[in-house]
Each structure stands twice: as C-alpha cells, then as structure tokens.
Amino acid sequence: MTPMPVRAAVLALVGLALYPHSLSSQTVQGDQPATNEASQKALACRIADGFTLAAVGDLIVAQPISAVKDEDFAATSRILRDADAAFGNMEATLIDIRHFKGYPQASEGDPGLIGVPEVARDLRAMGIRLVSRANNHATDWSIEGMRETDHTLDEAGIVHAGTGENRGLARAARFLDTPKGRVGIVAMASSFAVPSPATSELGEAPGRPGLNAMRTKMHVLVTPEMLESLRKVRDAQPKGLLEESVESGPEKPNELSLFDTSYRSSDHLGFSFDMNPVDLSENLASIREGKQNSDFMIATIHAHEPGNWSDTPPDFLVKLAHDAIDAGADEFIGHGPHQLRGIEIYKGKPIFYSLGNFFFEADQQQPLSRDVYEIYEQDPIKVNSHELSEIFVKKFFNGDIWYQSVIAVSRYEQGQVSEIRLYPVELGFKMPEADRGVPRMASPEVARVILERLQKLSQPLHTEIKIDHNVGIIHVAR
C-alpha cells in the first residue's frame, strides 16, 4: 500500500499513459531446464480429486470481525469454510500496542498497518488457514512486530510463510494438512521496505530476520531517439554529479542510468524488470522442494510493480509465475496493487496476477507514528490517527475499484484445475466508515461490473470467463 516517492510517482504518471500494452509485447519467454521422468513424477499434483482452494487478496484488518452479523458478510465466510483450504495475504502487524515492546519502523509515507491480535482468531473462524507474510508491511512495527504477528498466527492455527529469522527460513515452504492431502506454500515479495529482506549468515556475521524478497531492477522503456536525448542530458551534467551511475562500468549501447533511473531502448514505451538471479533460483528451489514434500503447492507473491495504477502484470511476474509452475507450483497467487489483474491458465494450472483487497480497513489504522504525521505535514494535536488515515486513503484509494474483488475457488481433478468459480465481493467504499473495508457479497449490479472488468483483463491471457447468476466461471479443458 506504499505511496511512491516523487521520482516513482513521475514515472507512474508517464507509465499510466504509455504502459497499456498487451502481454504479447512483454518479454516473458525463457528456456526451461529439461526434466526427466522421475523429476516430473515428483512434481506432479497428488491432491485428491475434488480438492478446492479458495483464494483472496490482501487482508488489512484493524479490529475484530466476529461481531459482524451482516448476511452478505457471512456468505463470504461460508465460501471460504466450504473449501478444503483458504488463502489470503496477511498485510498487517497483529499486536496489542499496550504491551508491545517494539517500535514502529521508519516510514516512507505509508501508515504502519496494525490490527489487534484477535484478528487472527477471527480469520481462522472464517476459514482462512493459509496466509502469506511476505509483503511491504511485514516489518511496519519492526522485527519485533513481525515476530509477534507470526506467533499470533501460530496460536490461531493459521499456517504462514514468507518471514523468518534468516533467509532460509523466510524462503522455506510451510505446510497445511487437509483431509484431501498436504498443501505447501512459498511466499515472496518483490515490493518491500528497504530494511525488510532477510539475509543468510556469512562467516561470523549472522543472518538477519525479515521477509523472503524477490529483488527486481526496473528499466524504463523508451525509443532509441528518447534514449539519445537522455544521453545528451546525462553528458551535460557536471562531472562527479552522476559518478556512481555513469562511471560504474562499461556503457551499454541500449541502456543508460540517469538520476538513479535505468532506461532501456525499446520499440514501445513502458517498463521492464530484471529479477535478481539468486532470489529467483533459491525461490524456485524452495518451490520444488516444497512440492516434493506436499501433494499440492502454492506459490504466491506480493508485487505492486510497476505501480498500483496498473492493472497489467509486469513482465517479470509473468515469467516468475510460469517458472514457479514449471518448478512444481499448482497455483500461483499474486497480490499487491490493491486491484484486480487478469487470470491465466498455464499448463492446466491457474495464475491469479492480483486478487485485489479482501479486507481493506486502511482508514481505521491507529496508532500512527509521528513521522507519518510529519510526512503529511499534519499536527497530531489537531488531527487524530483516524483522520490522518482518511487523508491517506482519499489521496491514494479514493474510488470503487479498490473496494471490489473476488473470492476465487479452484477445483482440481486428476492433478489439474477443472473449474474456477469467481464470487464477486465489495468492501463498501460508499458505506459509513465503521463498516467500510469489510467484504460482502456484491449486489447483482456491482457483481456484473466486477466480472466484466475481470473478463476484459483476462482476455489478453486467453482466458474466457463466463458469467452465470452473478458468478464468474472458468472451465478448463484437459
């Protein structure tokens, strides 16, 4: 939910006008290593026929939800509980601030998301038993907050992945046993706060606690003529001003760095991302090992790139999703941009590039640290934490699109998805503040808006979504 710094915001405004290319214009191909018959058998889906996985997006929950008696809210819980397993992205620190011994992490302008510990118990009662913890809010309340949240989830009986005391533990698969088989999960984040990634030990230096990072490098795609103009701007700068970016190595004819931004020559405008090769190889190894120890494997990532404004997945995310499935994942679930992105079926396995928000109580955050007030130039004596949260939400998420999503229920037969049912939910953007951000089954009118949007987003991915009685249905032929 990060508001972008000035440079990134300028790039986003440029990209908003220039980026809407179909995935066919993105570089997503890559040779896959050959696998022998034994390894293919080890990576096969072994879950019992009829297994269903319900997946939702971001869980930003501030207060207990057990008291909500709304029938449309109860209906969402029934869908989750009826599935054999249900997944979401836990994007808040669950602590009792009265007894918390830690402190808020330095803010870049995003409120530190916080919820009371009872939230974990309530989510478990709703049916959510699997969550990702790798996201840009994992350490909002420092490593102590991360640890306390993970402990709270453990006590509630919710399996979580993506954070740990070192990189190996953060990357490792975690497992949930169900009557129809064992479900594994590896959780990654390409969008994260600077100090959040876990590291491995090196010699006498211990590993650092944190999240499982998938680091990327962004390149702004420009025409050759634009690149030449940027080169002239760069060459006109005083010597030493750009020393780090200009003199860091041999110049590439089709790339240059200027003011901490990398530009790459292309036949179209937009953005491209390179994945860190170590992060990619280690995460794929974790997925492969996790699959060998489970019957069904989930790979999931929190990715805002190229920005919350984009409903199109970036090129690296497409490649990562395909690579994850080739490594043994049976379902790939994306979240991060707080809005829906398209659905792809790859080798009989579903890819959800973003499931948007499921809970979005971003305007109910309290307490907030002093540096957030300073960034927004607000006086904490005159503006309370709720009012400041409202200022933030109205600035970045002031519209229905952020409060509309789906519950995606995938059914598996003979190791492949046979049907996906998409249940539209709305989070009450126009409802009173006390009720806003809680999922309820969408009205028929809103359900059609949501599903038709998802149809349009999925068309470039060659996925057909039919609408039947306000439910989206994807039939997958073997």
pLDDT tens digits, one per residue of 301-360:
999 999 999 999 999 999 999 999 999 999 999 999 999 999 999 999 999 999 999 999
pLDDT in tens, 141-178: 999 999 999 999 999 999 999 999 999 999 999 999 99
> 337, 271, 272: which is closest to 304 by C-alpha?
337
CB-CB contact of 85 with 176 (8 Å): yes
Q: How high does pLDDT run on average in the chain?
A: 90
Which whole-number Å values give the CA distances from 452 to 7, 64, 362, in the listed order? 34, 33, 26
| pLDDT for the residue numbered 401 | 97
Half-sphere exposure of 164 (CA within 13 A, CB side): 20
Query: Does residue 389 register a pLDDT over 90?
Result: no
Q: Length of the chain, please?
A: 478
CB-CB contact of 54 with 85 (8 Å): yes
| pLDDT for the residue numbered 353 | 98
| pLDDT for the residue numbered 16 | 41
CATH number of 39-214+276-475: 3.60.21
> 82, 95, 91: which is closest to 60 by C-alpha?
91
- Which amino acid appears at position 402 of this protein? W
Query: Does residue 449 register a pLDDT over 80?
Result: yes
Query: Does residue 21 register a pLDDT over 50?
Result: no
Q: Go through 98-125 and write b for each residue having 16 or more CB atoms within 10 A of its CB, e for each that does not.
A: eebebebbebebbbbbbbbbbbbbbbbe
122 phi and psi, to 5 degrees? -70, -40
CB-CB contact of 92 with 148 (8 Å): no
CB-CB contact of 57 with 356 (8 Å): yes
Residues 6+ apart with CB under 8 A from 232: none
For residue 360 the two structure tokens come to: 């979005």
Query: Does residue 40 register a pLDDT over 90?
Result: no
For residue 428 the two structure tokens come to: 């009450």
For residue 226 the two structure tokens come to: 């634009």
- Kindly report the pTM of this predicted structure: 0.90
> 355, 361, 338, 370: which is closest to 116 by C-alpha?
361
- Pairing mode, if any, of strands 471-475 and 466-468? antiparallel
CB-CB contact of 373 with 291 (8 Å): no
Query: Does residue 241 register a pLDDT over 80?
Result: no
> 335, 404, 418: which is closest to 50 by C-alpha?
418
| pLDDT for the residue numbered 248 | 52
Residue whose entry in the numeric block shows the structure tokens 């453990």: 154
Provide the residue ranges of all domains of the chain, joining segments of one domain with +: 39-214+276-475, 224-265
pLDDT in tens, 410-445: 999 999 999 999 999 999 998 887 789 999 999 999
> 275, 284, 315, 214: which is closest to 35 by C-alpha?
284
| pLDDT for the residue numbered 44 | 84
Secondary structure string (H, E, C) spanning 453-469: HHHHHHHHHCCCCEEEC
> 405, 422, 427: which is closest to 468 by C-alpha?
422
Residues 6+ apart with CB under 8 A from 315: 26, 27, 28, 272, 273
Q: How sure is the predictor about 252, in pLDDT bands with cuts at 50, 70 and 90? A: confident
> 337, 269, 256, 331: which is closest to 300 by C-alpha?
331
User: How much of the chain is helix, strand and coil, in % rounded to 5?
Assistant: 30, 25, 40
Radius of gyration of the chain (CA): 22
Helix axes 277-292, 315-326, angle to 10 degrees: 30
Percent of the chain with pLDDT over 90: 75
pLDDT in tens, 364-379: 888 988 988 999 999 9
